[in-house]
Amino acid sequence: MGTEIERKFILRAVPEWVSETEGSAIRQGYLAAGAGAEVRVRLRDGSPRLTVKRGEGLARDETEIDLADAQFAALWPLTEGQRIEKTRYRHPLGDLTLEVDVYEGPHAGLVVAEIEFASIAESRSFEPPDWLGREVTGDERWANRSLALAAEMPAIAE
């Protein structure tokens, strides 16, 4: 088990560099999602995984397990109505890596950037550039599990 330390931002538009970057197709569905915990299955570029996350906000415990294709196929139907689809693009941002998710399907139009940090102190000292947009770290409305479970997407412009 590891700890994920991450800040999240809503971008106003898809960054120009995305058109020059190869993205990773991601489909993920939630088997369980409650207050402070989630269990999901994800297919990223054809590789299936099971992920368990605990906690909320800036730092959360995370455990990932590779799945066999047959295991993913058995679990995927259980996520019906609790899914998201997106393409992830990675881009350097100084010494950090920016991950930009461009959502598809019912969440089309949503563009989210996430940055993972090695420590809480490093996260807190990060000064985001203005183009990253509004920070939504810890805002549960923008958690992937919340988006997957919501009847409709929250308003982007707030």
H-state helical runs in the chain = 69-75, 120-125, 144-149
What is the distance between the alpha carbons of residues 25 and 8, in angstroms, rounded to a whole number? 19
Whether the CB-CB separation of 109 and 35 falls below 8 Å is answered with: no
User: Is 103 one of the catalytic residues?
Assistant: no
Question: Given its phi and psi angles, is residue 77 left (phi above 0), alpha (psi -120 to 50 degrees) or beta?
Answer: alpha
Q: State the catalytic residue, choosing from 30, 72, 89, 117.
A: 30
What is the distance between the alpha carbons of residues 144 and 15, in angstroms, rounded to a whole number? 20
What is the distance between the alpha carbons of residues 113 and 23, in angstroms, rounded to a whole number? 14
Longest dimension (CA), the chain: 44
Q: Which residues are catalytic?
A: 30
